[in-house]
Amino acid sequence: MILEGLLNLVFGLLKVCFGWINIPAFPESLASSIDTFLNLIFDNITLLGFFIRPTTLAIVVPILIILLNFEEVYKITMWVLRKIPFLRYAIDKGGLNNALC
């Protein structure tokens, strides 16, 4: 709920700040080229299924994304935890283990 409110506030500020800028339409030829490229990739993704099971990919890809962006994920997680008053005190005073014991 808090996160949703913050995101709505950020998007609203972005619309107010940049709403007056008239961005031209995306070129149709470039859009069709990108669509063709993505269709080529996703139509042939079943070839990957011969080597790796799709359920394995569904598990490994999110983990890989989190590992590659670990620092940002950690910063966001700690920011959210600091917003909870009880956990903020525990984090600032020596760790979560001291607060839970």
pLDDT single digits (tens) 36-79: 988 887 777 777 777 778 788 788 888 998 899 999 988 988 88
State the Rg of the chain over Cα. Answer: 22
Over 14-56, what HEC string results? HHHHHCCCCCCCCCHHHHHHHHHHHHHHHHCHHHHHHCCCHHH
Q: pTM here? A: 0.35
| CB 98, CB 90: distance < 8 Å | yes
How far apart are the C-alpha atoms of 15 and 101, rounded to whole Å?
47
Strand, coil or helix: 53: coil
What's residue 22's pLDDT? 80
The pLDDT of 23-27, averaged and rounded, is 82
More confident residue, 74 or 88: 74
| CB 89, CB 95: distance < 8 Å | no
What's residue 32's pLDDT? 92
